[in-house]
Amino acid sequence: MGFQLKRKGEILGINEELSTYGRPVFEKDLEDGVIAEANKDGTTFVNKNSSKEQKEEAIEHEEVHHEQMERGDLDYTDSVVKWKGKTYSRTKMKEGSAQLPWEKEAYAKTKKK
C-alpha cells in the first residue's frame, strides 16, 4: 500500500495558489469579519473559512498595504498604526474602515469596477 507525502505548503498552511515569490499566503483562523491581514514580514494571513473569491480580493487589497509598508508610509504595532508620520490608536479605530487614510488608498486601488 502506497502513501502520498504532503506538499510543503500543506504542512506549513501556505496557500500555494495565492502565494507569490517572496509573498507567502498562510491560511489561518482569523477574527470574525477579518478576511486577511498584511504582516510586516511580507507574509499575508487569509481566513481559511473565506471563499476563494473573497481570498483573492483580500490578497489584492493586502498587497497595497505591503506596498505602503515598503514605501515607509505605513507601520504598526499591537497598539498603534503609523501613517505618513501620524500615529493612530488601534483602540480608537475600526480596523479596515474605508475612512482610514491607508485604507482609502487600498480600497481605491482594488475596488471592483
Decide if 3 is inside a domain. Answer: no
Instruction: Establish if 28 belongs to a structural domain.
Output: yes
Query: What's the domain count of the chain?
Result: 1
Locate cell 499575508: which residue? 44
Tens of pLDDT along 9-48?
A: 666 678 888 888 889 999 999 988 899 999 999 999 999 9
In a domain, 26, yes or no: yes
pLDDT band at 8 (very low <50, low <70, confident <90, very high): low
Residue 30 in any domain: the answer is: yes
> What pTM does this model have?
0.86
- Examine residue 1 and state whether it is found in any structural domain, yes or no: no
Query: Would residue 18 count as lying in a domain?
Result: yes
Question: pLDDT at position 1, please?
Answer: 60
**Is 2 within a domain?**
no
Q: How far is CA 7 from the centre of its chain?
A: 23
Predicted local confidence at residue 102, as pLDDT: 97
Instruction: Provide the edge-to-edge strand list for the sheet that holds 36-38.
Output: 25-28, 44-47, 36-38
Domain limits for position 73: 8-106
The pLDDT of residue 99: 94
